[in-house]
Structure 1
Amino acid sequence: MNRLLSQDEIDKVFRRSRDPNHEDRAKKAVQYDFRRPDRIAKDQLRAIHLLHDNFARNLASSLSAYLRAYVAVNLVSVEQLSFSEFIQCLPSPTCMVSLGMRPFDGNAVLELNPSLVFPLLEMLLGGSGKAATRINRETTEIEQSILDALFRIILNDLKTAWQGVSNIAFVIEGRETEPQLLQILAPNEAIVSIGLEIRVGENSGMMNIGMPSIIVKMLRHRFDQQWSMRRTDASEEHQQQMLRLLKPTTVHLDARLAGPTMDVADMLELKTGDVLSFDFPVGQPIRLTANGTLKYEGQVVAQGRRRAFFVERLVTDP
C-alpha cells in the first residue's frame, strides 16, 4: 500500500543524507572468516587455558607415580587453528591417537613427540630412559600396546579436568604415525590446539591435543555457569590424592660444602696428603637440596661406614 511522506519525514531523509558521519557509520563492519565459523571468544579461551593448566599439574603427579620418576608438565599454548595448520605443526613420524568425545559427535587428536615416546618406552621396559642416540622412526604395534597404559592415564586426567564443564569420555578410536594420513576432520575445520611440554629427567618433548572448536563452543554456557563457581583452593580429598600419588616418586638429594676459589697454578701443585682450607665455619649448617630446590639445613655426619646428613631445620621459604 502506497502512502505519502510527511514534511517531517522528508526533512529527516535530507538531514541524514547531509550528515558526514552517517556514511562512516554505515561503512563500519566486522570482518568474518567463512572458513572458520567456529571462532571462540577470548574469555572462553582463558577458561580453557586455566582448565588445562590444572590438567598439567595433575598429569605431572600421575605420571610421576606411574613412572616412579620426577615428571614436570607445563602448559605451553592454547590457540585456535585450522585442522590442516595443526597437522602441519606435528613431526613426522610421530605417535598419534584419534579420540572419540562421547557423548558428542566429534573427534579429538592427541599426539606425543618421538623425542618423548622412546625414552618413556625404555623406562616402561625397565631402563633408565637415557637414550644414547635420538630415535626418529614409527612405533611398532608392540610399542603402541605398551603405550596404551600411558594414554589411559593421560585420558583419565583429561576427563577429570573437563568434569567441571562436561562429563566427556575420551576414548581411543584409532592410531596413526603419519599426521597427513589422519583425516578425522576437514582441513579448514577450526580446532582448539593445546600444547604441553613434558619433561622426564634429561628428556623432554611436546604433547599436543586438538579439539573441534564447534564442540568447545557448544559448551560455552557451561563454562560460564560452572567454571566460575569452581573453588580455587584444593579440597582436602584432592590434597590427599595428590599426596598418595607423589609418595612413591623419587627425588635426587644433594648436600654441598661451598668452598673458596683457587688459582690454577696452586691447583696444579696439589698432591696426595695436602689439606684445603674452606672458608666455611664449622657451626654453619650445610644446605640440602631436593631436585635442585633447597629443602633442609643440617650437618654431614658419619653413620657406620657411610656419610649421612643430620637434618636440623626444614627450609619453608627457600
Structure 2
Amino acid sequence: MEKMLKQDEIDALFEAARAQSAAESEGATAQPEVKARVVPFSFSTAGQISNDQLRAISILNDLFARNLTHNLAAWLRTRFHVSLVSAEQIPFNDFLLRIPEVNYMAAVRLEPLGVLSVIQMEMGLVPPIIDLLLGGEGREGALRELTDIEESILASVVEIVCRELSMAWQPVGLSFNFERRQMQTQAARIMPVNEKTLCLSFEIRMPHGSGLLNLAFPAVVANTVLRRLTSDWGKSRRHAPEVRARMETSSKKIAFGASLQLPSVRVPLKTIETMEPGTVIRFNVPSGTAPEWRVGGQLLATAEAIRQGTRRAARMERRKEEVEA
C-alpha cells in the first residue's frame, strides 16, 4: 500500500533537502582561517649582507688568495698556499673576542675612503716566515712577542699582503696602505666595537706551519664594494642573441617626431615685434643652405623638400657624418 503524503509533509522534505544542500555548499567553499605569523624583529640585523652579496665578495677575494699564493711562495722560496675559508658580517667586538692574546695585528688605511681596517695574523705563521727570510728552513718556534727586528721583518710581509689586496680590489677602486702594528689593547680605537664589520678569513698553509689571516672592514667599505660590484656587473650584462633580435624588431616599430627645417638662427626682438602679414624677415643663412632633417631633435641629414603624390616629402642629400666632415 502506497503512502500518500500531505502537502505540509512534502514542504518539510523540500525544506530539509535545501538546508542540507546549503550546508554542504558552505562547507565546500569555506576557507581555513589563516593566522598571521608574527616574527620578532631585531634592529641589529638591519642592513645585513645577503648570501648572494657575500658570494660576490668571496669571488673577489679568491683572486687575492691565488695571487698571494704565487707571489709569497716565490718570495719565500717555499710551498705556500692561501685559501678563503669564510666571509661573514659580525660586530667588531665579536671579531676582537676571537683574537688570541698573543697575535700580530696591524691597521691598514683604505683609500680613497680614508677609513681604517684590520689585518690580524695568527702567531703560528710568524716564526716560519721570519726563519725563511733570515735564511733558515722555515721551522716552527715558540709563541711569544716579537722583537723590534722581527716586527720590522714581518712588516714587509704585511706590505706585500696589502699590495696584493690592492691589486685584487682594483675593480672596486680601493687601495690598501699599511700603517702600523696595533696591540690588542689599542685595537678598539680603530673602529667602534659595535660597528658591523665584514670579516674575511684566509687559511695559510706552509711546510712547517699553518694559521689564519683575518681581515676586518667597517660597514662603509662593505657597502662601497657591493655598490661598485653591482654597478660593474650590471654594465657587463649582455642579453642573449635571440632576446636582442626581438628587442631590435620591436624598437623598429617606435615612431619618433621628425621635421625638415632650416638651421637655427637668431632674430632680433625688434624684428619680431614689428612683424606684420607680408613682412620679409632676413635670416643670417646663405641662400644655398639645405634644410636639416631632424628626428627626435637630433640632426640626421640634410634634405630637400619635395612632393610625392599629394604628400610632402624629403629627399636626403647628405648624412650627418658627411655634413660634419
**Cα separation, partners in 2 of 1:154 and 1:181, compared to 1, 3 Å:** closer
C-alpha displacement at 1:225, in angstroms? 2.5
CA distance, structure 1, for counterparts of residue 88 and residue 224 of structure 2: 17
2:90 is aligned with 1:81: yes
C-alpha displacement at 1:227, in angstroms? 4.7
1:138 matched residue in structure 2:
145
**Cα separation, partners in 2 of 1:230 and 1:163, compared to 1, 3 Å:** farther
Q: 2:160 aligns with which of 147, 153, 160?
A: 153
**Cα separation, partners in 2 of 1:86 and 1:71, compared to 1, 3 Å:** same
CA distance, structure 2, for counterparts of residue 146 and residue 40 of structure 1: 36
2:122 is aligned with 1:113: yes
2:75 matched residue in structure 1:
66
Deviations 1:172-220 (A, max 9, x none): 2231242664421111111011111111112111110111123211332
SS in 1 for 2:154: helix
2:192 is aligned with 1:192: no
Q: How does 1:130-279 map to 2 (within 5 A)?
A: 130-131=139-140, 134-164=141-171, 166-178=172-184, 181-227=187-233
Would the aligned equivalents of 2:108 and 2:118 in 1 still touch at CA under 8 Å? yes
Max Rg structure: 2
**Cα separation, partners in 2 of 1:38 and 1:171, compared to 1, 3 Å:** farther
Deviations 1:145-191 (A, max 9, x none): 11122112111111111112x22121122312426644211111110
C-alpha displacement at 1:28, in angstroms? 4.7
Q: 2:41 aligns with which of 16, 26, 31?
A: 31
SS in 1 for 2:74: helix
Residue identity matched to 1:211: F
2:45 is aligned with 1:45: no
Deviations 1:118-163 (A, max 9, x none): 11011111111113xx422222222111112211211111111111
CA distance, structure 1, for counterparts of residue 47 and residue 151 of structure 2: 33
Residue identity matched to 1:176: Q
Residue identity matched to 2:204: I
CA distance, structure 1, for counterparts of residue 183 and residue 133 of structure 2: 20
Per chain length, whose mean CA-contact separation is higher, i.e. which structure has more relative contact order (CA < 8 Å, sep 6+)? 1
Aligned alpha-carbon RMSD (Å): 2.4
Would the aligned equivalents of 1:94 and 1:112 in 2 still touch at CA under 8 Å? yes
1:100 matched residue in structure 2:
109
SS in 2 for 1:138: coil
Instruction: Using structure 1 for the length normalisation, give the TM-score.
Output: 0.59
Residue identity matched to 1:141: D
CA distance, structure 1, for counterparts of residue 124 and residue 137 of structure 2: 15
Residue identity matched to 2:165: L
C-alpha displacement at 1:89, in angstroms? 0.8
Residue identity matched to 1:96: M
Would the aligned equivalents of 1:39 and 1:213 in 2 still touch at CA under 8 Å? no
Would the aligned equivalents of 2:104 and 2:121 in 1 still touch at CA under 8 Å? yes
**Cα separation, partners in 2 of 1:118 and 1:217, compared to 1, 3 Å:** same
C-alpha displacement at 1:20, in angstroms? 6.2
Would the aligned equivalents of 1:113 and 1:206 in 2 still touch at CA under 8 Å? yes
Residue identity matched to 2:228: R
Would the aligned equivalents of 1:139 and 1:177 in 2 still touch at CA under 8 Å? no
C-alpha displacement at 1:31, in angstroms? 2.2
CA distance, structure 2, for counterparts of residue 190 and residue 61 of structure 1: 32
Residue identity matched to 2:144: R
CA distance, structure 1, for counterparts of residue 54 and residue 232 of structure 2: 15
CA distance, structure 1, for counterparts of residue 188 and residue 128 of structure 2: 25
CA distance, structure 1, for counterparts of residue 46 and residue 149 of structure 2: 41
Would the aligned equivalents of 2:83 and 2:202 in 1 still touch at CA under 8 Å? yes
2:64 is aligned with 1:55: yes
Would the aligned equivalents of 2:199 and 2:215 in 1 still touch at CA under 8 Å? yes
Unpaired segments ≥5 residues, structure 2 = 1-31, 238-325
**Cα separation, partners in 2 of 1:230 and 1:50, compared to 1, 3 Å:** farther
Would the aligned equivalents of 2:166 and 2:174 in 1 still touch at CA under 8 Å? yes
